[in-house]
Amino acid sequence: MGKTLYQKVYDSHIVFQKEGELPTIYIDRHLVHEVTSPQAFSGLEVAGRKLRRPDLTLATMDHDISTKEASIEACSPMAKEQVTTLMANADKFGVTLFGLGHPNQGIVHIVGPQVGFTLPGTTLVCGDSHTATHGAFGALAFGIGTSEVEHVMATQTLKQGRLKTMKIECTGKLQKGVYAKDLILAIIGKLTTAGGTGYCVEFCGEAVRSLSMEGRMTLSNMAIEFGATAGMIAPDETTFEYIRGRLYAPKGEDFDKAVEYWKTLKSDDDAVFDKVVTIDAASLEPQVTWGTNPGQECAVTGTVPSPDDFADPVVKKSCADALAYIDLKPGQKLTDAKVDYVFIGSCTNGRIEDFRAAAEVIKGRKVAPGVTALAVPGSMWVKAQAEKEGLDKIFKEAGFEWRLPGCSMCLAMNDDRAPAGKRVASTSNRNFVGRQGKGSRTHLMSPATAAACALTGHITDVREFLK
């Protein structure tokens, strides 16, 4: 019997296996940020251990830094401590750090691929749940807890059980105005937030093949939002061309050899998945969340559901609770919901193509009165590239704030927060209660849809602007 892509990568990384114990796998790449690394580094120090492979470890700062000023002084006291601790640890343990102001600094899941640290067929971990992002390259990538971070630092290995496999086949091509973000929201809506628990999913089909690497990363990024541990995509020419020439990517003959190997990284025709799901991507409309988890979503043209639409008492209650928090009424048109804040950024949608897509919508237009709109590039490279293309001017002239890279309003851990009772059109990945600020209300959507919301001041079908 053939193997799935996941099984190929997993099996090739087992270094130790004992009857009755979880296998130990080798970890090729370890990404580090300021929030989940301090205890791990101090654990190493207390135990008198060295960092086993500084050359396979890469650090950046993103979660709680200021997006107004690239300075430690602009951070909150807690952020200041985390940031300075990371600087000291990077120094002590010999880790490359893309710190504040560095041309490669940015959100950890944007930086890894951008510098060619993320490669097909590797195992990649980070103390962060959205590590699944890197699966878009055919890497086995998943988030780990702080004690596991320490384990990887000390041994470059991890105990990791075998996952179940799910194939998510996305048929047809996405229509104009419909993006990878809409596809992944629709997938989560269909599977629910627990539908992927215990699985490594593989996204495939024509809609996935025709996505750029950036779109593929948006898909894999949100695999965790339906409970999957990892979300992989088989590498192809699009992947190889994206990697070619990047800072840490293999060069010359080594690159050609790597590509030969990478070409074998796909599920065999006779591989058997534990579960297969099909999504008709061609018929999808732009999607928006209406509730307080990413699976509570529907087409932007839809209406808010009623708790009575659901038979399961748990789902019924979760719908009622979500509507009470988000202040929407059953049967109300989603496009009637007024928007106070717009956030374009995060590791889901903070890449250059995201800013190009949003700029296409807002070019020559103005943000609606009363709306606060933030454009936060995911990395210094994205920012520089956007500025080279004149996108920053388009955003600023429309009335957006053009910020420095960081996680920003994706999570209320830094100074970028939405006040209680305010509604945010957001390109991030989580719409949990209080996620963007205590009492704030989040609607997840694509960058183009968020841009359209900024212009009208309410939830909007972006296709009206793309005619």
Binding site feature residues for [4Fe-4S] cluster: 347, 407, 410
Residue 424 interaction partner, one of ligand SF4, ligand IPM, none, beta carbon < 5-8 Å per kind: none
DSSP H helical ranges for 310-351: 313-326, 346-349
Residue 35 or 361: the one with the smaller Cβ distance to ligand IPM is 35
**Which x/- pattern over 111-150 shows residues binding ligand SF4 (rule: CB under 6 A)?**
-----------------x-x--------------------
Which residues 338-397 are close enough to bind ligand SF4 by CB under 6 A?
A: 346-347
Residue number with CB closer to ligand SF4 (4 or 431): 431
Give which of 306, 331, 332 is closest to 320, Cα–Cα: 306
| d(C-alpha 177, C-alpha 199), whole Å | 30
Cβ closest to ligand IPM, residue 126 vs residue 328:
126
For ligand IPM, the closer of residues 259 and 433 by Cβ is: 433
Name the phi and psi angles at 151, rounded to 5.
-60, -45
Cβ closest to ligand IPM, residue 37 vs residue 446? 37
Instruction: Number of residues interacting with ligand SF4: please give it, by CB under 6 A.
Output: 13
Binding stretches for ligand IPM (CB under 6 A): 35-36, 63, 128-130, 143, 411
Check residue 407 and report its DSSP letter.
S
Pick from 411, 418, 425, 450: which binds ligand SF4 (CB under 6 A)? 411
Whose structure tokens read 């990284």? 265
Specify the residue, 143 or 345, whose C-beta has the smaller distance to ligand IPM. 143
How many whole angstroms separate alpha carbon 382 and alpha carbon 219?
19
- Among 60, 82, 220, 428, the residue binding ligand SF4 under the rule CB under 6 A is 428
Q: Does 429 bind ligand SF4 (CB under 6 A)?
A: yes
Q: Give, for 191, the enclosing helix (H) or strand (E).
A: helix 180-191
The pair of three-digit structure tokens given for residue 82, joined into one six-digit string: 């985390």
Q: What, of ligand IPM, ligand SF4, none, does residue 150 touch, CB below 5 to 8 Å by kind?
A: none
Q: Which helix (H) or strand (E) element contains residue 125?
A: strand 123-126
Six-digit token string for 77: 């006291």
Distance of CA 22 to the CA centre of its chain: 28
- Cα separation, 213 vs 211, whole angstroms: 7
Residue 303, helix vs strand vs coil: strand
Q: Which does residue 346 bind out of ligand IPM, ligand SF4, none, counting CB within 5 to 8 angstroms by kind? A: ligand SF4
Query: Which partner from the list ligand IPM, ligand SF4, none does 35 bind, CB cut-off 5 to 8 Å by kind?
Result: ligand IPM
462, exposed or middle or buried, with CB in 10 Å at 0-12, 13-18, 19+?
Answer: buried
Tell me if 344 sits within 8 A of 427, measured CB to CB. yes
**Region from 154-162, 224-232, 243-251, 406-414 binding ligand SF4, contact rule CB under 6 A:** 406-414
Annotated binding-site residues read 347, 407, 410
3-class state of residue 352 by DSSP: helix
Residues near ligand SF4, by CB under 6 A:
62-63, 107, 109, 128, 130, 346-347, 407, 410-411, 428-429
